[in-house]
Copies of this chain bind each other. A is one copy, B any other.
Amino acid sequence: MKFNLGCQLSYQVDSWSTFVFNLRVVETNYQKLLNELLEISPDIEIDEYYSPFSENRYFRLNVPANTRLQLSYWAKVEMSHYYGDPGTIAEVAPADLPVEMLHYLYPSRYCQSDRLLRLADSEFGHLEPGYSRVTAICNWIYEKVIYLYGSSNPHTSAYDTATERQGVCRDFAHLGIAFCRALNIPARFVSAYAYGLEPPDFHACFEAYLGDRWYLFDATRRAPQNGLIRIGTGQDASDVSLSTIFGAVQMQEMKVFVEYLPASTATSDEIPQLTTKAIAIS
């Protein structure tokens, strides 16, 4: 299924400043980039790079003082999806994990799994291991944490959300990740464009490594999983910030859009909708 997506950002730059953006979509086996346009005004050199730690597509801008920076991004993407059978997807023991996954078992800034071991064990330790246990984590979060704009801030972490029980998509993702790691399930943060999100915004969810791949989970239930288009992955939000800014800058405007381009031949899996199927896009 195909999507048009993108964003428009503008900033008032008061001092000479450096921006690191992470807002372009990646290409994966399940996510094809058909077309893409990135426009910056004024015309500033774009320093593109991939982190050695991921395939995220960062770019850096150095912007002079007293500039109104405008950034416009548009992409056309074709998503296919890997659909698995939740009933047959197993957890992988640390003994058998591909070694590059071990990193995603460790605690990180916003996912202090080391401090949530007993809580995770008490709530989920008795459940059957496998895909369904991560689903149970998402259900727990959906039921017990209130989605509330402005209820958290950039310092809020999974440790806080576990107790304070309120947050936004980023907090839901952090808590899901922390619970997974506390149960020895590798988990990572996903930033994404999300079809159907109201109001339109950048979105965050998470992936857990199960069976032989990364499966997508979204405890917020605010957008269909097969309408998510991946921007970046990382240990947590600190790795995939939309923009990291060094300097005196005011954001002035942010618009995000995601448009579904229906095909005349679409099957039922090819329509963006909430699903209980196991779904992978990485």
Contact = CB atoms under 8 A, between A and B. Distances in A.
A100 B62 contact: no
Interface residues of A, number: 44
A144 interface: yes
A163 B165 contact: no
Given A99-B58, A100-B51, A106 B238 contact: yes
Contact of A165 (B108, B122, B155, B239): B122
A247 to B, nearest CB: 9
28 contacts: A18-B93, A20-B102, A51-B99, A51-B100, A51-B102, A52-B52, A52-B100, A53-B53, A58-B99, A60-B102, A93-B246, A94-B246, A103-B239, A106-B238, A106-B239, A107-B109, A107-B238, A108-B108, A109-B109, A112-B155, A115-B155, A116-B164, A118-B166, A119-B163, A119-B165, A122-B144, A162-B163, A184-B246
A263 interface: no
Contacts of A99: 47, 49, 51, 58, 60
A154 interface: yes
A184 B109 CA distance: 17
A223 B246 CA distance: 35
A163 B155 contact: no
Contact of A95 (B52, B62, B94, B238): B62
Interface string A84-119: 000000000111000110110111110010111011
A146 interface: yes
Contacts of A166: 118
A124 interface: no
A223 to B, nearest CB: 24
Contacts of A154: 114
Given A52-B103, A162-B162, 20 more contacts: A18-B95, A20-B102, A52-B100, A53-B103, A60-B94, A60-B95, A60-B99, A60-B102, A106-B109, A109-B114, A112-B155, A114-B154, A114-B238, A115-B155, A115-B163, A115-B164, A116-B164, A118-B146, A118-B164, A119-B165
